[in-house]
């Protein structure tokens, strides 16, 4: 072969090799990109599934060094601040007005400037928070809703952003618990939660508070304010500290039954948005984009969206089942539609419940001592019936699978929270509390005598079994319903009410009674065995009347209506009070909460 031919052959082979290399490289590159894309998609999908399937878990290390019975001492010096910060008020003003007063005045809660210092019974202590400082490092205001009407106030202390933290917290909630005689129920409940992985907790601390009033009305010397319980505020700082998403959606539930609230729960760019009205239901503590909340409410209130879908995409069954089982077992009945936070992390459609305010736990025995339990046998505020008025909880409870999970959570909790454990813990807390209740100022507002305190303390552990039996009973009973306001038609008084519901599909009949007194000793009408949800009777003369409706299933188990009649000292269940006016019209009696 000639030299020039060999050159051309070599060049051709080289070009062919180059072409083949490019094809191979191209295929390899394409294959690599395809593999990387598939891997990324798989990771993304797995991550999304992980987010949606995730259960909340607390940061257990936060509680590892807790001494549940220790008492921290705080010194609070209050001073008039300035108008710009809204702190130009006296300490007397702070302690005069309740939350309801502020609502009537249509103003924000008054605050004062404050110097917060930690120490011991000898005074502020070197090395502790605020020691050596002389200018205000915080603000103080009254906290709570119903409790704000008490003589002994609860306080919310906000440490300024550039002034550090106390126990890694900037918001200090000091709760007096004046209306519950033991003064440790809230702390006991939170401390029990620490050992329950399925429920989010919060740090608590007994605090002995001294206050020096320099606003012009006080003696300008430290005054003993007695014992408080500090409860960690659930806010962005809480989310960060507890290992949750600090940029999440977070709402404090003031009164929220998961209804559509189409004119109130809207996004902030909606012309209907009214922050005050919105926060009467849900206080905004996190992200201000409410789109996800609005979407969730639409799904909860859409009957075509199954409970399975709600629990798969919008809620976590474990979270709600364990939270509900815990509250039922503790007897914490003030949790139907408030005293909780709603939390939803970024990149997730799911919502979780975080408990808040547990001081209504273990109250059965104490209520009997205070004469406030005479009608409790007819109460729907126990077991699962307590949650029937909440639209979300009612939908979930109608699911056999949800109730099965609730029952499993209840059995696990009963193994962990025993009578012996409650007895041991409550005795230790009582040893802390009783010396403070034996002296001023807490002695003045003690709900129980020393003997009564000891009797309630002894009986408190027995309430676990009582609460569990209430739970079992309400699973077998009809569920509560509302009584309609009576009306006049065809010269007759028309009586009607909502339909009850039975988990076991038992037949239900109704008894309706009308009387001139809430004890129903002077009945003027009664019909029983009704299979309908209405009845009629003769028209009534001018005056006040009471209607009571009871549902009974074929097993003979009964349930009263949701409606209550409230006197100064007691609540009577299943009763509506109404008035027949001079013109024959009828007006239902209503009550202002708190």
Residues of the chain with pLDDT under 50: 1-49, 51, 593-594
Region of residue 513 (left: phi > 0; alpha: psi -120 to 50; beta: else): beta
**Closest by CA position to 518, among listed 351, 384, 374:** 374
Q: What is the pLDDT of residue 369?
A: 82
pLDDT in tens, 290-317: 999 999 999 999 999 999 999 999 999 9
Q: What is the pLDDT of residue 28?
A: 46
Cα distances from 402 to residues 234, 318, 327, 332, 554, in angstroms, run 27, 9, 16, 20, 24
Angle (CA) 269-270-274 rounded to 5° is: 95
Give the domains, in start order, of the chain with CATH numbers: 61-233 (no CATH), 237-475 (1.10.1070), 477-588 (2.60.40.10)
Please say whether the beta carbons of 535 and 520 come within 8 A. no
For the chain, what is the mean pLDDT?
91
Gyration radius (Cα) of the chain, Å: 31
pTM of the model: 0.89
Strand residue runs (E) in 349-434: 352-355
Give the whole-angstrom CA distance, residue 581 versus residue 578: 10
Residues 6+ apart with CB under 8 A from 569: 371, 372
Q: At what angle do helices 185-193 and 419-437 cross, to 10 degrees?
A: 140
Q: How far apart are the first and last CA of the chain?
A: 110
Q: What is the pLDDT of residue 89?
A: 96
Q: What is the pLDDT of residue 46?
A: 39
Q: Is 495 helix (H, G, I), strand (E, B) or coil?
A: strand
Q: What is the pLDDT of residue 216?
A: 83
């Amino acid at each position: 072969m000639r030299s020039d031919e060999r050159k051309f052959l070599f060049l051709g082979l080289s070009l062919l090799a180059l072409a083949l290399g490019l094809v191979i490289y191209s295929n390899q590159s394409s294959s690599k990109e395809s593999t990387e894309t598939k891997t990324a998609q798989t990771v993304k999908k797995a991550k999304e599934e992980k987010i949606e399937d995730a259960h909340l878990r607390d940061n257990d290390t936060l509680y590892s060094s807790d001494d549940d019975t220790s008492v921290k001492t705080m010194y609070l010096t209050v001073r008039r601040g300035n108008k710009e910060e809204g702190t130009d008020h006296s300490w007397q003003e702070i302690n005069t007005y309740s939350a309801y007063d502020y609502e009537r005045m249509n103003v924000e809660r008054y605050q004062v400037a404050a110097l917060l210092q930690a120490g011991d019974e000898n005074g502020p202590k070197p090395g502790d928070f605020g020691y050596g400082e002389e200018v205000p490092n915080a603000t103080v205001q009254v906290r709570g809703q119903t409790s704000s009407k008490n003589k002994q106030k609860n306080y919310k202390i906000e440490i300024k952003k550039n002034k550090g933290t106390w126990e890694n917290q900037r918001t200090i909630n000091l709760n007096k618990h004046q209306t519950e005689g033991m003064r440790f129920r809230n702390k006991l409940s939170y401390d029990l939660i620490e050992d329950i992985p399925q429920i989010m907790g919060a740090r608590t601390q007994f605090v002995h508070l001294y206050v020096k009033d320099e606003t012009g009305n006080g003696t300008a010397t430290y005054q003993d304010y007695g014992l408080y319980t500090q409860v960690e505020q659930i806010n962005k700082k809480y989310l960060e500290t507890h290992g949750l998403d600090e940029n999440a959606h977070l709402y404090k539930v003031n009164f929220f039954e998961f209804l559509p609230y189409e004119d109130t729960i809207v996004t902030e760019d909606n012309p209907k948005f009214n922050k005050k009205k919105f926060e009467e239901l849900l206080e905004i503590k996190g992200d201000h984009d409410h789109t996800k909340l609005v979407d969730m409410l639409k799904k909860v209130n859409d009957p075509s969206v199954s409970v399975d879908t709600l629990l798969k995409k919008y809620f976590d069954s474990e979270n709600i089942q364990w939270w509900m089982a815990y509250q039922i077992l503790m007897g914490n009945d003030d949790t139907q539609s408030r005293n909780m936070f709603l939390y939803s992390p970024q990149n997730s459609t799911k919502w979780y419940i975080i408990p808040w305010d547990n001081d209504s736990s273990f109250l059965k025995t104490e209520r009997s001592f205070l004469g406030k339990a005479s009608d409790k046998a007819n109460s729907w505020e126990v077991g699962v019936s307590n949650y029937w008025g909440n639209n979300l909880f009612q939908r979930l409870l109608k699911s056999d699978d949800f109730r099965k999970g609730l029952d499993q959570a209840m059995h696990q909790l009963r193994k962990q929270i025993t009578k012996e454990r409650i007895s041991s813990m409550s005795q230790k807390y009582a040893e802390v509390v009783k010396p403070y209740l034996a002296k001023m100022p807490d002695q003045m507002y003690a709900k129980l005598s020393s003997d009564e305190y000891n009797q309630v303390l002894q009986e408190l552990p027995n309430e676990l079994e009582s609460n569990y039996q209430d739970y079992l009973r309400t699973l077998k009973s009809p569920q509560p319903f509302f009584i309609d306001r009576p009306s006049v038609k065809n010269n007759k008084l028309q009586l009607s009410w909502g339909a009850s519901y039975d988990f076991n599909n038992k037949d239900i009949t109704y008894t309706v009674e009308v009387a001139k007194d809430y004890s129903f000793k002077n009945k003027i009408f009664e019909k029983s065995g009704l299979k309908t949800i209405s009845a009629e009777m003769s028209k009534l003369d001018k005056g006040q009347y009471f209607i009571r409706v009871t549902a009974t299933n074929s097993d003979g188990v009964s349930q009263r209506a949701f409606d209550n009649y409230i006197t100064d000292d007691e609540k009577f269940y299943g009763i509506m009070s109404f008035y027949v006016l001079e013109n024959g019209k009828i007006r239902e009696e209503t009550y202002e909460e708190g």
